[in-house]
């Protein structure tokens, strides 16, 4: 009798701890069963087991080559868009003229399908990394501009009045007040951007590349190796997920105060 309550509690705890993992494993098993017992052919929906086999059949070093190619472009594009977006937002926040001139231009750029301008980029910058980095950057920088600008504009007006009442130089208003206040917004932008960066790199590889996970998937499809394409796809999503998490870790590590308060 005495034992029951803690035991129940322990069980509940364990269920909470392992439920997400068990759910995932269950899902994969269900998928496997549907494929095996339903006799679904590989070219329609490959079974998890054949995806794993396909994954192992590709040499590890090849995976690393493709991973590095995609990651390199995605990260360079991501950092380039940070370098462009943040100063741009500061400029637009500080100058009404710049805001009015640039904002429509940014929206036009954002709503242009990158695939449509990609051939032009390739002609201008060649078929190497620079083109792919630019394509990635074009896809990633808009959410960053929007989130940074929003964040800086949402600074409490009292803080701005405090800065004015001190007659502090404007750059300090930007650096010591507006930017830190924008940090939570900037990080939501970064989380969106990092996943877009992977998509951007893959889109760029669809246009021109000799390696990379996007190229690998396209290539596998061209040989109708669907399980191999799925393996590439799943690998890609895991990388996206890890990058997304990394952005959260960086925020937790550098700006713990900017995280939403836990209840």
Partner 1 sequence: MGPVPNKTDKNLTYVSLKGVGHKYDPHPNSPMVVQDIDLDIHRHEFVAVVGPSGCGKSTLLRMVAGLLVPSHGSVSVFNLPVTEPRDDVGIVFQKANLLPWLTVRKNVLFPLKHKYGRYSSADEVRANELLEMAGLMQFADKMPDELSGGMQQRVGIVRALLLNPDILLMDEPFSALDALTREQIGFDLLDIWREHPKTVLFITHSISEAVLLSDRILVMSKRPGTVMDLIEVDLARPRTSKTINSPRFAELTDIIRGYIYEPNVPV
Partner 2 sequence: MKTKLKFTLFASLITSTSVMAADKVTFQLDWLPGGDKAPVYVGIQQGFFEALDLDVSIASGRGSTDALTKMATGQSDIGSSDIGALMAARAQDDVPVVAVLPYFTQAPHAFFVLKSSGIKSIKDLKGKKIATSPFTSSNAFLPLVLKENGFSEEDIQLVKSDPGALAPMMITGNADAIIAWVTNTALFKNQASSVGKEVIEMPWSDSGLSLYSSSLLASEKFLTERPDVAKRFVKAYAKAIQFTYEFPDKAGADLHKMVPEVDAGIVSAQIKSITNLVFNDVTEKDGFGYFTPERIQKTWKYVAEANGLEDDALEPMMIVNNDFIPE
| Residue ranges binding partner 2 (CB under 8 A) | 41-44, 58-59, 62, 119, 122-123, 126-127, 206-210, 215-216, 218-224, 226, 228
Nearest to 70 by CA among 250, 237, 190: 237
For residues 171 and 94, the answer to whether their CB atoms sit within 8 Å is no
The answer to the question of residue 177 lying near partner 1 (CB under 8 A) is yes
State the distance between the two ends of the chain, measured CA to CA, in whole angstroms: 33
The answer to the question of residue 261 lying near partner 1 (CB under 8 A) is yes
Query: Which of partner 1, partner 2, none does 119 bind, CB closer than 5 to 8 A by kind?
Result: partner 2
Shortest spacing between CB 135 and partner 1, in angstroms: 35
Query: Which of partner 1, partner 2, none does 41 bind, CB closer than 5 to 8 A by kind?
Result: partner 2
Query: Which of partner 2, partner 1, none does 228 bind, CB closer than 5 to 8 A by kind?
Result: partner 2
Tell me how far apart the alpha carbons of residues 204 and 118 are, in angstroms, rounded to a whole number: 8
Q: What is the DSSP letter of 173?
A: I
Which residue stretch of 16-24, 78-86, 143-151, 159-167 sits at the interface with partner 1 (rule: CB under 8 A)? 159-167
Shortest spacing between CB 254 and partner 1, in angstroms: 10
Shortest spacing between CB 255 and partner 1, in angstroms: 7
Residue 190's Cβ-count burial label (10 Å; 0-12, 13-18, 19+) is buried
Neighbours of 257 (CB within 10 A): 8
Shortest spacing between CB 73 and partner 1, in angstroms: 33
For residues 83 and 145, the answer to whether their CB atoms sit within 8 Å is no
Tell me how far apart the alpha carbons of residues 224 and 52 are, in angstroms, rounded to a whole number: 17
Q: Which of 24, 25, 38, 161 binds partner 1 (CB under 8 A)?
A: 161
Which residue stretch of 32-40, 79-87, 157-165, 200-208 sits at the interface with partner 1 (rule: CB under 8 A)? 157-165
Query: Which residue's CB is nearer to partner 1, number 40 or number 160?
Result: 160
Tell me how far apart the alpha carbons of residues 138 and 143 are, in angstroms, rounded to a whole number: 10
Query: Which of partner 2, partner 1, none does 164 bind, CB closer than 5 to 8 A by kind?
Result: partner 1
The answer to the question of residue 176 lying near partner 1 (CB under 8 A) is yes
For residues 134 and 125, the answer to whether their CB atoms sit within 8 Å is yes
For residues 114 and 139, the answer to whether their CB atoms sit within 8 Å is yes
């Amino acid at each position: 009798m005495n034992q029951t309550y803690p035991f129940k509690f322990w069980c509940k705890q364990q269920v909470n701890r392992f439920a997400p993992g068990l759910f995932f494993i269950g899902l994969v098993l269900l998928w496997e069963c549907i494929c095996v017992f339903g006799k679904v052919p590989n070219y329609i929906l490959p079974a998890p087991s054949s995806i794993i086999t396909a994954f192992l059949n590709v040499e590890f070093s090849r995976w690393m080559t493709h991973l590095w190619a995609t990651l390199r472009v995605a990260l360079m594009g991501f950092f380039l868009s940070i370098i462009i977006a943040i100063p741009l937002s500061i400029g637009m926040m500080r100058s009404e003229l710049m805001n009015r001139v640039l904002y429509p231009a940014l929206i036009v750029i954002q709503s242009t399908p990158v695939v449509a301008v990609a051939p032009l980029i390739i002609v201008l910058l060649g078929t190497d990394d620079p083109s792919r980095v630019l394509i990635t950057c074009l896809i990633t920088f808009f959410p960053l501009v929007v989130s940074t600008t929003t964040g800086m504009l949402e600074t409490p007006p009292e803080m701005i009045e405090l800065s004015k009442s001190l007659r502090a130089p404007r750059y300090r208003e930007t650096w010591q007040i507006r930017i830190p206040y924008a940090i939570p917004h900037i990080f939501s932008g970064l989380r969106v951007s990092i996943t877009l960066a992977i998509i951007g790199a893959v889109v760029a590889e669809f246009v021109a590349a000799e390696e990379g996970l996007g190229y690998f998937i396209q290539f596998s499809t061209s040989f109708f190796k669907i399980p191999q394409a799925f393996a590439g796809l799943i690998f890609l999503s895991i990388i996206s997920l890890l990058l997304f998490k990394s952005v959260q870790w960086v925020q937790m590590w550098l700006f713990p105060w900017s995280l939403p308060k836990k209840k």
